[in-house]
Structure 1
Amino acid sequence: MEGTTTALAVVGIDCAFPGAPDADAYWELLMRGGDAVGQVPPERTYPEESAVTGPGGFLAGADVFDNDFFSVPPREAAAMDPQQRLLLQCAWRAVEDSGVAPGELAGSGTGVFIGVMGGEWGQLHLGDYDRVTPQLGAGSSAGMTANRISYHLNLTGPSLAVDTACSSSLVAVHLAGNSLLSGECDTALAGGVNLVLSPALGLVYDRMGLAAPDGRCKPFSADADGIGRSEGVGLVVLRRLADALADGQRVYAVIQGTAVNQDGRSNGVTAPNRWSQQQVVAAAYRRAGITAERVSFIEAHGTGTVLGDTIECAALGTVHGIERKEPCAIGSVKGNLGHTEGAAGIAGLIKVALALHHRIVPASRFADRENPQLRLAERGLRLLKSPLRLPPGTSYAGVSSFGMGGTNAHAVLASAPRDPGKRMPKRGSTTGVFTLSADTPEALRRNLAAQAEAVAGRPRGDAAALCLHSNRVKTGLPYRYATTARDTAELAAALREAAAEEMPEQIAHRPWAKPVVAFLFTGQGSQFPAMTAALHRESAAYRHHLDEADAALRPYTDRSVRDLVLGGDTCVDETEFAQPALFAVGYALARTLTAAGAGPAAVLGHSVGEFAAAVIAGALTLDEGARLVAARGRLMQALPAGGGMLAVKAARGELHPHLDAHPQVAVGAVNGPQDTVLSGPREALAQIAEALTEDGIRCRMLDAPLAFHSPLVRPALDRFHAAAATTEPAAPGVPMASTLHGRLLGRQETTDAGYWVRQAAEPVLFADALADLDATIAPTHLIEIGPRAQLLPLAGRAGLGPGVAFLHPAPGPDATGRELAELIAHLFRAGLDPRWEGLYGPGRRGHERLRPYAFSTARRFWTRPVRPAAAREAVPAPEPGTAPQPQPRPEEPANPVKDPVLAAVIAAVAEVGEFPPERVVHGARFYEDLGFDSVMIMQLKDRIEARLTHLGEISVQQLLPALRSVGTLAEFLSGRLTESGRLTESGRLTESGRLTEGAAA
């Protein structure tokens, strides 16, 4: 593709236009040639002096804003230009559509470039000086349309609003592209917004003779008779093409080049200039590195005015009136929507990007009555009377947008290149984890319902790619949901069921801390033929790490341990093979979890499980661990038969009489307060078992081929010491609990040859090691690493701290393979941020579209300005002869707060932000939850001083440390009043510390 080094990728899109609340609906509107022009929506309220009448293109729900999602107080939301509110929600959804969770951009140098035309909001409200507030000042600023996005998404790159009249949003795209190409930012949001807030501009069009009587633009039609005003908002997420491809992002289309120029002094500042339009198109082609004959279609400015259409066609004809196989198709989305003014350029660019993405160009509305005076055919142009299918290969298109004051813009777009990445072959369906997050439990249910509907509408198929896309995009908000699914039908059912529930704690909650995970590596006795075979079929990551272990073991075992593990061979029970096999499984499981972001805060290995634990902790290399465990298994296998192990439900101390009677028997393991394992000759163990049973103590012989961790292993120890001496011991990088010492190893403590010899011969102090791990690390989750659960039941009887969860990624012969995904889902709900690609393995890019975030529609803000508190109307006096009726204060809570200082703080906060009192709870945080800023802090200070009259003046510097939450502020103020003697220890105000009347409920 030409100009790849200077090309820009459109990786995300969101928009809302009349009759089209999102990009999918917009495309559907275009493809069916829909007419979005209609009457003013009935829910719109305008001041009488600025009533908007007549048909136009109006957005449904333009007054809806989820202010709580963005932590915008109601007072500020009501003061904001609704264009700012629309852009905030549009920006969030556009970033999601780019395949990135918006929170991932926080702190980045992402740029924001917004086209916005005029300032009707400020004109309507700032003229009433009694109503002017700081919030209204910021809410009326055109520059804040961009700055709000940067602020609320915490983006630190360039942030600017552009007003070049009708070309504003395409000029914003041009500036965003230049910023990307110069290296000023790596990601940019660009677009525009337009709302019809007053009839002023419509009157201008009318008095210039440019207004269409029926409110409809009819571009290039014989019926063209002027402009119809319209509304809309649209944003695209742009990246350098090379970066987008390197990161595996979906590319809708490629911006090959843009150009901007000015009419200069023509026949009037508002009159179009043919020569300038011609030059800007030609300049864009030069920058794109293409010639005019390669352009398949152009999204023209196309206002539907006679003069404008004539001049534009003449300019395009000069550039495209060359010899070519097919005329260049032209059209204008204004025929569907009307003129969206400041958003016109982005409306056209999104149309072209979607057309290139779908490889079909929608027909032009009103093309059936082409204006013959435009002489389109002889100029190498044509209107599309039916959709145009694009041929294979790269297709090119242009977008024009011309400002009323003469600033012209043109962009050249190309279809996206084919994905150069080679996809790894997929081995059947894979269980995925579908994630969703929201700012409240109610929002989570709302979005679950929206996603359920969207997924149910898809063809049934593998859900893994859809799940991976959800992991990249639908995370980062405090309330979390995760479920596992193999296919879309299963996923839709799970989402539907969850949306109907009341969100029990185990499904979704607000985690305040990350999980602390400890790995418990199982020892010998947990093996069985074909262990972890289901997981091996399911997980590419597990297959990869098992292959690593197999390659490490192969030089020391003379056979494939992987094939032994999976093949169902019963020789896996023989010690020579069981120990390397368990090592391979433990290593592969641990590495699979670590690759998915669920790595351990500490490890503990039981007996032979300690070798894999040492490798994961960094005390041994993989090669060292493989060499040692292979030697250990081989040497143990060569020991004489006749040994065994006995599990006893008794404390170690209770067994001394039996050990004294049988000196050849030793304690092999201490697994818990009442879980002891004896090891020695089977004949002696049988005698002990008989005696214990007579005493009412439960015991059972273990299926162990040898007397591990007893004097019977001593013949193998010298040769094992020689093998262990070849290692280079290192201090573990991850805390490692030693079952030899019964505690965590010290920071500089290593596992040398002597350690491993003693570890083979002496008792396994599992209970002591687990207790020290629990006391020191305080794990929230214990994950057993092995082919079946043996250690988790022991841990469950160990008296660990409250709330510890037990998990297993491959729990025995009945495992289905999806337990690994369910484990990661559990940890995500508990607060883990997994590395999702590590769960799915290679070959899954997740280029699936998900329903964008469903914002709350409960709150509506329109043109009602916010009156300052001092200017609020007083309660009218009662009529003579009537009893005064109690008038509830707007900030009075339904359930009065008993603490008078807390009640005063709640009332002051509610007044400053115009919050419902029930929204201002004890734990509400001023900045994160209530959206306070420095101006509101000053207002709050004044309200508190007015309510707590004897508190005295408090400086802002004194207040700031207490502004963590409503509760901490109340505690600070109570402390000051107590110190001054104006608050009793029981929390009652003295007469000298009295509240103003009605200050607290």
Structure 2
Amino acid sequence: MSANHQIALVGMACRFPGAQDIDTYWHNLINGVESLAALDKRPEEAGYIPVAAPLTQDIARFDAGFFGLSARDAALMDPQQRLFLECAWHALESAGVTPGKLTDTALFAGCSSSEYLRQCANDARFRDLAPSAFEQQITNDKDYLSSRIAWHLGLEGQAVNVQAACATSLVAVAEAVYALRSGRCRLAMAGACTLRFPQDEGYVSQQGMVFSTDGHCRPFSAEASGTVFGSGVGVVVMKRLEDALADGDEVIAVIEGVAVNNDGADKVSFTTTSLSGQQRLLREALTDAAMTPTSLRAIEAHGTGTLAGDPIEFSALESVFREYTDKTQFCTLGAVKANVGHLETAAGMAGFIKAALQIKYGWLTPQINVETLNPTVGWQGSPFEIIKTAEPWPEEDARRAIGVSAFGIGGTNAHVILSRPAKGENAKTAAIQRSLFSRVIPVSARSESALYRLLGYYKKMPVSHKGGSLAWSAQTGRMPMRYRCTLTPGSDGTLEIHDTITDIGRGRLNVVFQFPGQGSQFIGMARELMNDDPVFNQRLQHKIAVLREHVQLDITAMFDSAGDADLLNNTALTQPTLVAVEIALAELLMHYGVMPDMVIGHSVGEIAAAWAAGAFDSEQAVIFAAKRGALMAGLDSGRMLAVELSEAECQCWLSSDVALAAVNSDNSCVLSGSHTAIADCEKRIRRAGIRCKGLPVSHAFHSSMMEPVLASLRDCVPDIISSDRVQPVRFISALRAQEISDLHQLDADYWSNHARNAVHYHQALQQIPERGKTLFIEVGPGSTLTSLVTQLRQSHAKTTTVRTLRRRDDVQSEGALWVQALQKIWRAGVDILWARLWDQPGQRIALPLYPFDPEYWWMGDRILPKPSSTKTEPPSTSKLDPLAVRINQIWLDITGAAALSMHQDFYDAGGHSLMALRLLAVLEKQFGVAVSMSDFLQQPTPSGIQRCLQNSGVVEQNLTH
């Protein structure tokens, strides 16, 4: 057997009668619950049975907004596809897989024929929407189930419909197994859905036919009289076993063997089943699994409870088993149709998930509705038994597998053999993993109400998982959404919200990296982060090695917390050290998914900013900083003084010996000059009652004292490596207080002026637009630049500031500050690549499933009552001009919901290309104006449409008709 033969079941989700989730389904099975519903209404019709097997949820409700569907599409779409979509999302969540761009994921799925539009065809809402034949087809025909799911979940592998009547879902499983074994995909999903309309309607039964005469399905019972049909959806997720173990997944069960065949012509009629066809099927499945029947602890039979079908199935099983063994009553026989009814295309999935749950929990569930065994079946001395109470399945039992059968009307048969994972197969994922983030649990949702419900589910979870498995699972197995917060375990072991809940909104987030200048460094900075994060350590060690090799400079003493503090006065060390730390820290942020849109640097920090913008590579940058620092270290020492004055107020304090070195805010500047000049200036400033503070620097940077080295500095400037293409990262110059789009301007003249002239940081910050959301990240030690942004934009609610390395006087450790920083960055709207923060994959555990926000989407009055209110009524148009009123009515007709405003984006409202074409066609018909798609896409809003029509010059005339 090849290494790829065994397939791991790693996720599953379901909606079955009596159960909206896997846990409830298992509770019902283990407790022998019959989930059929007795109905109140009893039509006076011969043979009418007031029993149904409906779903417990309101099938008219669906979270259309979550999947980006327009109101029109949501109302028209087959509810089977809607249910499957939500269930498929939950199945991926169960497997710890994030939807979005699953390049190597396949889907095999099927559903029953849609009755939805046929039963809604006479509804007024249907007539208002007036869907075209093509639109009805793509929203309801079962041909589009798999491609619909692939579109919304981002599945880029095979998306194939499977149709095999009642065997559909098990055939889908087999196809997924074949695809995985052959290497056609790395992840595979399989499932099926059946939805009966109406849900609460009984059926008419006739003796000897397939429908039960007493409202119960009784497989293998003497009282069996047929089946009860019901609704259900089930989806499972699979990987090759070796891949699942490598990924740290929980392996629920292992698929050892599959087989699919057809009865062919060897039977009495098209609708009957074939003994020989089932026998061939079982032999093929056992051969594929390399097993004998003695390895089977249970068989989950098709078991419809019909007088003809059950005995044939029993005979096929017994005859094949007897080809291998004479053992008796070693294999339990059951059929889940007794619990949930016959779910048609999803019937095999109900049995498959039941088998997987028995394997997972080590219990065999009772078979209900069997008072007396069917006397036409030879139970005595057979390999099979029926159990009526739940039984434990000890781990040491050599019988480690369960076989599952499904037979479709017409002759397609499928059988799947599942086994227990080998003992210890999941054990290697239980080792404690090393990560600073093992206590960080990110939680997000698409609505605020859903987030609060989800938080409630999380807070009920135990947090004593080894190796931070809860954190690992939450970080790597959930898609980040709009409303965000992080949870951490409190002192009492319960989960608590860290900081605040944030709404990142819909617009794009602008990320600005700020690189601090000299004076922020301290002895031992970044030492803790070097110990905590191997990636940061590797990046910083590379810079240390470059400096040692190319300029014979060893800066390692700067990272020794017990080192000599006098080293800070050696600018030949401090400048390259600071730039090396900042670039390594920026590389670390990028490694974890935090990419800058703009960069800005203060003084020497502008070298790191130029690197981030693409002007230099990292080696050029640190070598340049080292040569710059060495030149300046040879100058006479000087002083710098921070003063609480504006730039204008500083002018009277300046002289030939005192320069304005930096403008940091409206009332914060830095003066620079010789020791004598600055000391004298400081005395006079203090006497004037102005607050000031000396800075911990060795030289008078950005003053005339730099002039002796400017010529030599020009020779040290590296060549620009940036091409002429548009730069992906915008460079904001603190020297010029403006954006520099052509990085070739960062030439020798620039860096010569940069060392001598003032830093206009305050004005440079003002070049960063305040519109939209902006995240400022201080990439380096301290919080000076964070404070400057906060002072400048304190009234701007969409600005977030983050610092990443501690100040010299911080009580907080660097590791704690780094954890806090990445959490805040994530809550601001950056999608952190959490998995990279772990040295190896953690242990995957089950997390709470997403709580959808379903709304009413139904058209048929005869099926379900309409809601008390809807969201499809247009807003008041009393303040709109006639043209805007008509545009809004067309918008409502096309999208199915009124525009929230004249500026709502068409695609935010769930629009798509076909809908856009329909919109343009209606505009042309009503106004006689052919609006081009390119014009519409420039501003796809009601106001944009109005502009296009008004530009045509014929609108007013048409409005009078």
TM tier relative to shorter chain: 0.7 to 0.9
AA in 2 matched with 1:54? P
Matched residue of 1:234: which SS? strand
AA in 2 matched with 1:700? K
User: Quick one: distance in 2 between partners of 1:80 and 1:892?
Assistant: 22
Q: Does residue 787 of structure 1 match 2:762?
A: no
AA in 2 matched with 1:982? Q
1:60-111, Cα deviation, whole Å (9 max, x unpaired): 1242322632455656555544323322222232233333333334xx5854
| 1:683 paired residue among 676, 684, 687 | 676
Q: Is the 8 A contact 2:593 2:833 kept in 1?
A: yes
1:614-633, Cα deviation, whole Å (9 max, x unpaired): 55455555555556656776
Matched residue of 1:507: which SS? strand
Q: Is the 8 A contact 1:297 1:397 kept in 2?
A: yes
Structure 1 gap ranges (5+) = 499-505, 868-887, 984-988, 995-1001
User: Quick one: distance in 2 between partners of 1:721 and 1:963?
Assistant: 49
Matched residue of 1:166: which SS? helix
AA in 2 matched with 1:701? G
| 2:902 paired residue among 903, 911, 922 | 922
Q: How far off is 1:581 after superposition? A: 5.0
What are the residue-to-residue correspondences of 1:759-798 with 2, within 5 Å? Answer: 762-763=756-757, 765-767=759-761, 770=764, 774=768, 780-795=774-789
What are the residue-to-residue correspondences of 1:880-895 with 2, within 5 Å? Answer: 893=875
The answer for the alignment partner of 2:448 in structure 1 is 444
Matched residue of 2:587: which SS? helix
Matched residue of 1:339: which SS? coil
Q: How far off is 1:583 after superposition? A: 4.1
Q: Is the 8 A contact 2:258 2:289 kept in 1?
A: yes
User: Quick one: distance in 2 between partners of 1:715 and 1:677?
Assistant: 21
User: Quick one: distance in 2 between partners of 1:714 and 1:926?
Assistant: 59
Q: Is the 8 A contact 1:3 1:256 kept in 2?
A: no
AA in 1 matched with 2:589? L
Instruction: Flag the 1:84–1:673 CA change in 2: closer, same or farther, 3 A.
Output: closer
Q: Is the 8 A contact 1:327 1:377 kept in 2?
A: no
User: Quick one: distance in 1 between partners of 2:863 and 2:915?
Assistant: 15
Q: How far off is 1:120 after superposition? A: 5.0
User: Quick one: distance in 2 between partners of 1:212 and 1:160?
Assistant: 34
Q: How far off is 1:344 after superposition? A: 0.7
The answer for the alignment partner of 1:320 in structure 2 is 321
User: Quick one: distance in 2 between partners of 1:699 and 1:598?
Assistant: 36
Matched residue of 1:280: which SS? helix
The answer for the alignment partner of 1:94 in structure 2 is 91
The answer for the alignment partner of 1:310 in structure 2 is 311
Q: Does residue 405 of structure 1 match 2:405?
A: no
The answer for the alignment partner of 1:877 in structure 2 is none
Instruction: Flag the 1:466–1:931 CA change in 2: closer, same or farther, 3 A.
Output: farther
Q: Is the 8 A contact 1:57 1:338 kept in 2?
A: yes
The answer for the alignment partner of 1:901 in structure 2 is 883
What are the residue-to-residue correspondences of 1:560-599 with 2, within 5 Å? Answer: 560-561=556-557, 564-565=560-561, 570=565, 573-575=568-570, 578-579=574-575, 582-599=578-595
User: Quick one: distance in 2 between partners of 1:62 and 1:580?
Assistant: 65
The answer for the alignment partner of 1:387 in structure 2 is 392
Q: Is the 8 A contact 1:299 1:352 kept in 2?
A: yes
Q: Is the 8 A contact 1:519 1:603 kept in 2?
A: yes
Percent of matched pairs sharing the same residue: 29
Q: How far off is 1:19 after superposition? A: 1.4
User: Quick one: distance in 1 between partners of 2:436 and 2:104?
Assistant: 41
User: Quick one: distance in 2 between partners of 1:613 and 1:909?
Assistant: 47
Q: How far off is 1:308 after superposition? A: 2.7
Structure 2 gap ranges (5+) = 865-869
Q: How far off is 1:343 after superposition? A: 0.8
Matched residue of 1:143: which SS? helix
Q: How far off is 1:755 after superposition? A: 8.1
TM-score scaled to structure 2, two decimals? 0.81
User: Quick one: distance in 2 between partners of 1:939 and 1:728?
Assistant: 54
| 2:351 paired residue among 338, 348, 353 | 348
1:212-232, Cα deviation, whole Å (9 max, x unpaired): 344333334455443232321
User: Quick one: distance in 1 between partners of 2:251 and 2:656?
Assistant: 78
User: Quick one: distance in 2 between partners of 1:583 and 1:77?
Assistant: 54
User: Quick one: distance in 2 between partners of 1:586 and 1:957?
Assistant: 47
Q: How far off is 1:636 after superposition? A: 6.8
Q: Is the 8 A contact 2:640 2:670 kept in 1?
A: yes
AA in 2 matched with 1:94? A
The answer for the alignment partner of 1:455 in structure 2 is 459
Q: Is the 8 A contact 2:252 2:359 kept in 1?
A: yes
| 1:82 paired residue among 76, 79, 85 | 79
Matched residue of 2:192: which SS? strand
The answer for the alignment partner of 1:982 in structure 2 is 957
Q: Is the 8 A contact 1:53 1:199 kept in 2?
A: no
Q: How far off is 1:314 after superposition? A: 2.5
Instruction: Flag the 1:337–1:778 CA change in 2: closer, same or farther, 3 A.
Output: closer
1:758-815, Cα deviation, whole Å (9 max, x unpaired): 5896345353893696489999333222221123334556799976543212353044
Q: How far off is 1:21 after superposition? A: 0.3
AA in 2 matched with 1:457? M
User: Quick one: distance in 1 between partners of 2:297 and 2:56?
Assistant: 34
Q: Does residue 480 of structure 1 match 2:483?
A: yes
Q: Is the 8 A contact 1:401 1:408 kept in 2?
A: yes
Q: How far off is 1:16 after superposition? A: 0.5
Q: How far off is 1:329 after superposition? A: 3.6
User: Quick one: distance in 1 between partners of 2:555 and 2:932?
Assistant: 74
The answer for the alignment partner of 1:910 in structure 2 is 892
Q: Is the 8 A contact 1:76 1:136 kept in 2?
A: no
Q: Does residue 252 of structure 1 match 2:264?
A: no
User: Quick one: distance in 1 between partners of 2:744 and 2:939?
Assistant: 46
Q: Does residue 702 of structure 1 match 2:695?
A: yes
User: Quick one: distance in 2 between partners of 1:927 and 1:741?
Assistant: 40
The answer for the alignment partner of 2:832 in structure 1 is 834
Q: Does residue 10 of structure 1 match 2:5?
A: no
The answer for the alignment partner of 2:21 in structure 1 is 22
Instruction: Flag the 1:154–1:684 CA change in 2: closer, same or farther, 3 A.
Output: closer
| RMSD over aligned Cα atoms | 5.0
The answer for the alignment partner of 1:808 in structure 2 is 803
Instruction: Flag the 1:426–1:358 CA change in 2: closer, same or farther, 3 A.
Output: farther
Q: Is the 8 A contact 1:901 1:973 kept in 2?
A: no
1:883-913, Cα deviation, whole Å (9 max, x unpaired): xxxxx99967556453222222333443566
AA in 2 matched with 1:59? L
User: Quick one: distance in 1 between partners of 2:43 and 2:812?
Assistant: 67
Q: How far off is 1:830 after superposition? A: 4.6
Q: Is the 8 A contact 1:574 1:637 kept in 2?
A: no
AA in 1 matched with 2:281? V
The answer for the alignment partner of 2:228 in structure 1 is 228
Instruction: Flag the 1:626–1:67 CA change in 2: closer, same or farther, 3 A.
Output: closer
Matched residue of 2:406: which SS? strand
| 1:66 paired residue among 58, 62, 69 | 62
Q: Is the 8 A contact 1:669 1:676 kept in 2?
A: yes
AA in 1 matched with 2:440? G
The answer for the alignment partner of 2:867 in structure 1 is none
Q: Does residue 967 of structure 1 match 2:943?
A: yes
Q: Does residue 647 of structure 1 match 2:642?
A: yes
Q: How far off is 1:290 after superposition? A: 4.0
1:344-403, Cα deviation, whole Å (9 max, x unpaired): 111122223334444554444457865576455744334455132344999443221112
Q: Is the 8 A contact 1:31 1:363 kept in 2?
A: yes
Number of matched residues? 931
What are the residue-to-residue correspondences of 1:6-155 with 2, within 5 Å? Answer: 6-40=5-39, 53-66=49-62, 68-69=64-65, 70=67, 72=69, 77-105=74-102, 111-117=106-112, 120-121=115-116, 134=133, 141-153=141-153
Q: How far off is 1:233 after superposition? A: 0.8
Q: Is the 8 A contact 2:407 2:414 kept in 1?
A: yes
Q: Is the 8 A contact 1:217 1:303 kept in 2?
A: yes
Q: Is the 8 A contact 1:348 1:399 kept in 2?
A: yes
Matched residue of 2:847: which SS? coil
Q: Is the 8 A contact 1:434 1:468 kept in 2?
A: no
